[in-house]
Structure 1
Amino acid sequence: MTSTLTPVPLSERLLAIWRDVLETHQVDVGGLSVDGDLPDLGTRSILIIEIAMRIQRDIGVDVPLETFIETQSIADLARAIVEIDPAAATR
């Protein structure tokens, strides 16, 4: 019997990374969603660096820091990552 697991969408994987990092730093993640406005979180640059490192480790894409500034949501970030590396959507 073969498994037909559906891969987790990239935006959901990114959301999990954001939640994990923010919770580690005791940042409230109650309103965090893939379509939520990231600047409203007031995330600090050190957190963005940690999130970028996790994305590189977990997804295999080196996301430039300016991409985090240019994107408004995790969904936007997922689209930007796919532009950088189309294979990231299926990893």
Structure 2
Amino acid sequence: MTSTLTPVPLPERLLAIWRDVLETHQVDADGLSVDGHLPDLGTRSILIIEIAMRIQREIGVDVPLETFIETRTIAELARAIVEIDPEADAR
């Protein structure tokens, strides 16, 4: 019997990374969604560097820090990552 796992969509994977990092730093992640406004969470801080490192490690894409500033939501960030690496959503 083989099971086919459905891959988790990239925005949901990014959301999981974001929540994990915020919780590690004791930042309230309640209400965080793929369409939530990221600057409201203080995303221009050191947390972005940690999130960028996790994205590189877990998804295999180096996201320029400017991309975090230019995108307003995790959904937008996911689209930007796919523009950088079209295979990112398939990993």
Q: Note whether the superposition's TM-score is higher than 0.5.
A: yes
Give structure 1 stretches of 5+ with no counterpart. none
Q: Which runs of 4+ in 1 moved over 6 A?
A: none
Amino acid at match of 2:79: R
Q: Please state how far the C-alpha of 1:44 moved relative to its aligned partner.
A: 4.4
Give structure 2 stretches of 5+ with no counterpart. none
Over the aligned positions, Cα root-mean-square deviation in angstroms equals 0.8
CA distance in structure 2 between the partners assigned to 1:3 and 1:27 by the alignment: 37
What TM-score, normalized by structure 1, do the two folds share? Answer: 0.96
What TM-score, normalized by structure 2, do the two folds share? Answer: 0.96
Match runs of 1:12-91 below 5 Å: 12-91=12-91
CA distance in structure 2 between the partners assigned to 1:86 and 1:2 by the alignment: 28
Alignment coverage as a number of residue pairs: 91
CA-to-aligned-CA distance 1:6-36 (integer Å, 9 cap, x gap): 1000000000000000000000000100010
